[in-house]
Amino acid sequence: MRRFLSLLNLLLPALLPFAGVMASLIGMGHPLWAMQSIRTPVVPAPYAFSIWGAIFALALAWGFWQMRPAQRADPRLARLRGPAAAAFALMLLWMVVAQLTPNGWHLLAIILALLAAALVAFLRAAGQRMDGAGWRWVARPLFGLLAGWVSAASIVNLSGAAATAGVTWGGMDPVLVAMGLILLAAWIGSAVLRRGRGDLWYAGALLWALLAVVVANAALPAVAVTAGLGMLIVGVAAWLARIRHERPV
Q: What is the pLDDT of residues 25-80, one digit of tens each?
A: 888 888 888 776 778 999 999 999 999 999 999 999 999 999 998 888 888 899 99
Cα–Cα dist 138/76, whole Å:
14
Domain hosting 217: range is 2-246
Residues 183, 175 contacting (CB under 8 angstroms): no
Cα–Cα dist 199/238, whole Å:
7
User: What pLDDT score does 247 carry?
Assistant: 60
User: What pLDDT score does 98 carry?
Assistant: 94
Cα–Cα dist 128/85, whole Å:
19
User: What pLDDT score does 249 carry?
Assistant: 43
User: What pLDDT score does 149 carry?
Assistant: 98
User: What pLDDT score does 158 carry?
Assistant: 96
pLDDT at 228 over 70: yes
> What percentage of the chain exceeds 90 in pLDDT?
79
Residues 54, 47 contacting (CB under 8 angstroms): no
pLDDT at 207 over 80: yes
Domain count, the chain: 1
Residue 77, CA distances (Å) to 27, 119, 199 in order: 38, 15, 19
Cα–Cα dist 236/230, whole Å:
10
pLDDT at 233 over 50: yes
Cα–Cα dist 69/134, whole Å:
13
